């Protein structure tokens, strides 16, 4: 072979290999970010406030079954949510146990029972070594969950059955106190002989649960991802109190949104960061592969609607949020309107939308208007408004519906999603 041709061929071969490796890395990052986003929204759904209701509705719209559980005993009041989804085509069945953080006075008592107890009753019988010990309040909370009745069976037995029979991919997640309980549940399942590949544990803003001996014993025995927002003080709170507890697991650090002024420990801040990381990874992977990951695969259903690109009027401080707002708007509408045609552009005039609707034989045009304004009377709070307009094919206005909220409970992106979901399709 000609040396030049050989050199060029070798370069092309290695370039192809590098491209494949980069694509595989991009796919892996995208899939990891997707699981973390699902975990964050499940942890948000474990709360019963407005953000929690938003997360629950997102899961229902994606075809998940939900069951909220509250159990009360002398030591704890536990609240958790079980989400499960049947296998669909090539996607396996999924099962998520999501545990809420501190919401009740009894939860605060669990947080404050900081003295350590042996993780097993037989621990401590052998002298001369440090024994694995854990935070008593967190352990009581985790035990209460595992002993809770769920459909006539204890939660611990349900998890064991799912793993043993390979019935579903299993994720245990939680925020704050709930994240601490999730880690301890993962350790209890490891004690039942299950491997790290059998159960995935993701915690958000969770404090340490055990001493160094516990971390050494279970650090490799379970698949624990510990997500923290940079500056969240709760992850170090027990160490600050000079307790013997140490963190373990794979630590993942996120930054909070620059336009969010919520306390960094709040679950809504973690959910917002998870959403941003998910879309950043998705877009990076799409750019690497040159093709969309989110493929519009509606069944053959006819709809009379052409969806024009949304129109944004944003405060200058949150202009960087626009791509994420556009993404959640598109995903929600795509999921809600079978057979609609979506504009491929980020912006187009009404005349252009009318021509596109006529070309696609869609008699109606839907367009959403998103307005975000800073509240003068409330510092660091934005007023969020989503208005949905319907026009005929000639661009004549027919109807409108609007919903408004603020960012006292939400971040701007999730407030837009909340408003959008309050408007009927």
Kindly give the residue spans of alpha helices, DSSP state H, lying in 148-306.
Answer: 155-164, 177-191, 212-218, 237-240, 267-289
Q: What is the rounded CA–CA span in Å between residue 400 and residue 390? A: 6
- Token pair 């097993």 is at which residue? 120
pLDDT at 237: 66
Q: What is the rounded CA–CA span in Å between residue 184 and residue 407? A: 34
CATH superfamily ID and name for 25-282: Alpha/Beta hydrolase fold, catalytic domain (3.40.50.1820)
- 3-state SS assignment for residue 144: helix
Q: What is the rounded CA–CA span in Å between residue 338 and residue 341? A: 9
Q: What is the rounded CA–CA span in Å between residue 20 and residue 27? A: 10
- Token pair 């401590």 is at which residue? 124
pLDDT at 410: 95
pLDDT at 18: 47
Q: Rounded to the nearest 5°, which phi and psi values hold at 299?
A: -65, 165
**CATH classification for the domain delimited by 296-422, as one of 3.30.1330, 2.60.40, 1.10.3470, 3.40.50:** 3.40.50
CB 167 within 8 A of CB 161: yes
- 3-state SS assignment for residue 71: strand
pLDDT at 152: 87
Q: What is the rounded CA–CA span in Å between residue 394 and residue 208? A: 61
Listed residue (417, 413, 406) closest to 380, CA to CA? 406
The HSE-up count of residue 365 (CA atoms within 13 Å, CB side) is: 25
- 3-state SS assignment for residue 116: strand
Q: What is the rounded CA–CA span in Å between residue 405 and residue 85? A: 31
Using left for φ > 0, alpha for ψ between -120 and 50, and beta otherwise, residue 102 falls in beta
pTM for the whole thing? Answer: 0.89
Taken in order 236, 237, 242, 247, the sign of the CA dihedral is negative
CATH 3.40.50.1820 residue ranges of the chain are: 25-282
pLDDT at 23: 61
How many other C-beta atoms lie within 10 A of the C-beta of residue 34? 16
Please report which helix (H) or strand (E) contains residue 15, including its range: helix 3-45
Residues in the chain, overall count: 425
The HSE-up count of residue 108 (CA atoms within 13 Å, CB side) is: 3
- Token pair 């009027």 is at which residue? 313
Strand 94-99's sheet: what is its strand order?
Answer: 65-72, 77-85, 94-99, 169-175, 200-204, 223-229, 250-254
Give the pair of three-digit tokens for residue 261. Answer: 């002024």
Q: What is the rounded CA–CA span in Å between residue 296 and residue 312? A: 24
Collect the ranges in the chain with pLDDT lower than 70. 1-23, 75-76, 103-114, 121-128, 235-243, 294-301
Q: What single-letter DSSP state applies at residue 298?
A: -
pLDDT at 263: 86
pLDDT at 110: 46
Q: Where are the strands (E) in 107-248, listed by range?
A: 116-118, 133-135, 149-150, 153-154, 169-175, 200-204, 223-229
Using left for φ > 0, alpha for ψ between -120 and 50, and beta otherwise, residue 22 falls in alpha
């Amino acid at each position: 072979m000609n040396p030049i041709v050989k050199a060029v061929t070798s370069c092309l071969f290695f370039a192809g290999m590098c491209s494949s490796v980069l694509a595989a890395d991009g796919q892996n990052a995208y899939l990891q970010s997707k699981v973390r986003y699902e975990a964050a929204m499940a942890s948000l759904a474990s709360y019963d406030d407005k953000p929690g209701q938003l997360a629950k509705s997102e899961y229902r719209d994606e075809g998940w079954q939900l069951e909220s559980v509250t159990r009360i005993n002398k030591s704890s009041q536990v609240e958790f949510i079980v989400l499960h989804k049947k296998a669909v085509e090539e996607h396996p069945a999924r099962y998520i146990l999501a545990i809420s953080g501190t919401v009740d006075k009894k939860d605060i008592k669990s947080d404050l029972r900081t003295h350590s107890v042996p993780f097993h009753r037989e621990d401590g019988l052998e002298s001369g070594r440090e024994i694995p010990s854990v935070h008593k309040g967190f352990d009581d909370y985790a035990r209460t969950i595992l002993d809770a009745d769920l459909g006539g069976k204890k939660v611990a037995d349900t998890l064991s059955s799912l793993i043993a029979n390979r019935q579903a991919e299993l994720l245990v997640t939680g925020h704050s106190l709930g994240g601490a309980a999730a880690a301890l549940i993962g350790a209890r399942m490891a004690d039942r002989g299950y491997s790290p590949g059998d159960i995935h544990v993701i915690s958000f803003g969770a404090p340490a649960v055990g001493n160094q001996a516990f971390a050494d014993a279970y650090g490799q025995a379970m698949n624990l991802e510990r997500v923290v927002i940079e500056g969240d003080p709760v992850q170090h709170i027990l160490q600050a109190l000079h307790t013997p507890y140490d963190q373990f697991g794979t630590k993942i650090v996120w930054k909070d949104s620059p336009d969010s002024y919520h306390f960094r420990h709040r679950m809504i801040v973690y959910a917002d960061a998870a959403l941003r990381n998910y879309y950043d990874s998705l877009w990076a992977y799409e750019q690497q592969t040159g093709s969309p990951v989110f493929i519009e695969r509606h069944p053959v259903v006819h709809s009379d609607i052409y969806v024009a690109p949304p129109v944004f009027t944003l405060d200058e401080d949150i202009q960087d949020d626009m791509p994420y707002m556009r993404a959640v708007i598109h995903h929600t509408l795509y999921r809600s309107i079978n057979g609609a045609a979506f504009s491929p552009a980020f912006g187009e005039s009404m005349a252009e939308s009318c021509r596109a609707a006529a070309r696609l034989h869609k008699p109606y045009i839907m367009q959403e208007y998103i307005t975000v304004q800073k509240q003068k009377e409330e510092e660091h709070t934005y007023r969020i408004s989503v208005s949905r307009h319907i026009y005929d094919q000639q661009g004549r206005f027919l109807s409108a519906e609007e919903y408004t909220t603020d960012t006292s409970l939400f971040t701007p992106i999730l407030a837009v999603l909340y408003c959008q979901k309050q408007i009927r399709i």
